Amino acid sequence: MVTYGLITWNRFEELQKVIRRVSPHVDRTVVVDGDSRDGSLEWLRSTECTRMNVEVFVHPWQDDFIKQRNYYIQHAGQDGWLLTTDTDELLEDSAAYSIKNIVASAESQEATLCRFRAHDIHVDENGKVNTNLTNYYEPMLFKLGKNVRYTGILHHSLHKLPGKTVDFPEYRYYHVKSIPNMWFHGARNYWHSAGVGKDKRDGMQEKFRKLCTAQGIKYFHELAEMMRARILPEPIIEWLKEHRDHGNPEIRAYFNCYYVFMHPDLNWGMSNMDFPFQEGRKSTLKGMHF
């Protein structure tokens, strides 16, 4: 039994691509949805997904990636193997077609974890595509067991998974990243993990979180939605402007997301070290997601 598991939240277009690529080649698909409002849930419950043995479970998003991932382990059960990707990670055709053969190979080697090679695809500001076959291997396929689960805060690792790991360099996955999304994820990472070590020592991240809490903002996704809707409280707007040239790019990411990518019309001539002011710049809001 091979199960495909993934988490999603308002990622309809990417969700369709990954499920159509993988689900026909596994026994079942378990999707943990954060209560999407973009048509994802309706599609996941459609006849097309039913025919691909897709099962959807709604667990409202609570700013906790690890918790959401453990839900698909919980729903997958304790037997067989679990293949996992994010919605911006697309297995190449040969890998999708060969999943059950890969599992058989891993079992013959007494392995419990399989890693595939990353092929990064970056889309720059002008729409130019840059690709890079990396030397990084992502753990994407593992044997289920009674106590296997994810641990961590933002970047996950598997806990209680005995046995050895085997790499499959002949199979890759495409990790699609756009410039706006890379900055958006930098802001998200800073919220969750404080960025580089010096920020933990000087307390800046804690001060920023307290500033947001004082404005009634508890989770990053709440802050992000306020940024999208152009309803940021003035104290946070002033923080964005004040730190637009900070040495930590994850701090500058907040200014870039709001004034460069989401609402460039608000950027009345302001600039920072990353993106000089461009009059008439268009919003890239649609491309920014979790």
d(CA 289, CA 185): 8
The 3-class SS string of 41-56 reads HHHHCCHHHHHCCEEE
**Would the pTM of this model clear 0.85, i.e. be above it?**
yes
CA atoms within 13 A on the CB side of 262: 21
Please give the Cα distance from 60 to 68 (Å, whole number). 9
Percent of the chain at pLDDT above 70? 96
pLDDT in tens, the chain (290 residues): 999 999 999 999 999 999 999 999 999 999 999 999 999 999 999 999 999 999 999 999 988 899 999 999 999 998 999 999 999 999 999 999 999 999 999 999 999 999 999 999 988 767 788 899 999 999 999 999 988 999 987 677 888 888 899 999 999 999 988 899 999 999 998 998 755 554 555 678 888 999 999 999 999 999 999 999 999 999 999 999 999 999 999 999 999 999 999 999 999 999 999 999 989 998 988 777 77
pLDDT digits (tens, 9 = 90+) for 8-26: 999 999 999 999 999 999 9
pLDDT at site 200: 56
231, 184, 7, 40 alpha-carbon torsion, rounded to 10°: 50
pLDDT given for residue 236 in this prediction: 97
> What 3-state class would DSSP assign to 172?
strand
Which pLDDT value is given to residue 289? 77
Residue 202 has a pLDDT of: 62
Q: Taking Cα atoms as reference points, which of 182, 191, 205, 192 lies closest to residue 256?
A: 182
Q: Give residue-wise pLDDT tens across range 250-278.
A: 999 999 999 999 999 999 999 999 999 98
| pLDDT the model gives residue 285 | 84
Which domains, ranges and CATH numbers included, belong to the chain? 2-178 (3.90.550.10), 194-287 (no CATH)
DSSP code per residue over 120-166: EEEE-TTS-EEEEEEEEEEEEEEE--TT-EEESSSS-EEES--SEEE
Q: How far is CA 77 from CA 56, 101, 126, 157, in A?
A: 15, 21, 45, 19
The per-residue pLDDT for range 166-178, each reduced to its tens digit, is 999 999 999 988 8
Q: What is the pLDDT of residue 91?
A: 96
Please tell me what DSSP assigns to residue 78.
Answer: S
The pairing of beta strand 2-8 with beta strand 28-33: parallel
pLDDT at 157: 85
Residue written as token pair 């641990």: 151
